[in-house]
Amino acid sequence: MQSDVLAWLADNRQAFETAASRHLTLSATALVAALALALPLALVLVRWNRLAGAVIAAVNVLRTIPSLALLVAFLPLIGTGFLPAVIALTLYGLPAILINAYTALREVDPDVVEAGLGQGMTDRQVMRRIRLPLALPVIFAGIRTAAVQIVSAATLAAFIGGGGLGELITAGMGTLNIAQLMVGGLAVAALAMATELAFAALEWRVQRSTGAAA
């Protein structure tokens, strides 16, 4: 079987590279979009507590929706292809980042915040110099979780024409090409593990630098 897998890779190198590149592009775009939405929203919710409960509850609903169902839900709205896949993956990764960021910012020691205010800092300065540095390790843990979730869920983008490594899996299943199926599956697993390890290393560095700064 190993020889079949290597033979398929040798014969279809360009197809594999195209699928892998598409998968990475989908995942990276969705993660950046989730960050761009979640982090500013977390800052707003920390200031507007009345909105926080409703928004967090609504975002939590996204966690209960299977990733494939979320992808398919966008078919009637914007059709198939790259854009609906990115939107669905963004929403799929949003809860982990938003909830971690909001919780971390809210749970910063009130005495430390009061000390900053007592020294004449504005709310914005307290957020930038106190809350964010102390909350950063937990925020980064949420980003790490979202990144792995997005990379894994991006496999299903193939079902709505989004491309990626999922196309190798679906094509392998459709033609009973076990070698192609295994290449796609192993590549997704390897990419998810690489993402986990890379973000774990970055998270460790963030925690270490935060601890040193403290």
CATH code, 64: 1.10.3720.10
Q: Check residue 211 and give its pLDDT.
A: 58
Tokens, residue 150 = 């997005």
Query: What is this structure's pTM?
Result: 0.86
Comparison of pLDDT for 41 and 211, the residue scoring more: 41
**pLDDT level of residue 48 (50, 70, 90 thresholds):** confident
In whole angstroms, give the CA distance from residue 42 to residue 97.
Answer: 9
Comparison of pLDDT for 115 and 148, the residue scoring more: 148
Residue range of the domain that includes 176: 2-213
Q: b/e string for 100-128 if b means 16 or more Cβ within 10 A?
A: bbbbbbeebeeeebeebeeeebeeeebbe
User: Which H or E element spans position 162?
Assistant: none
pLDDT digits (tens, 9 = 90+) for 51-98: 888 888 888 887 777 777 777 777 777 777 888 889 889 988 999 999
User: What is the number of structural domains in the chain?
Assistant: 1
What percentage of the chain's residues is helix, strand, coil (to nearest 5)?
Answer: 90, 0, 10
Place of tokens 């935060």: 210
Q: Percentage of residues in the chain with pLDDT exceeding 90?
A: 36
Measured in Å, how far apart are the chain's first and last C-alpha atoms? 53
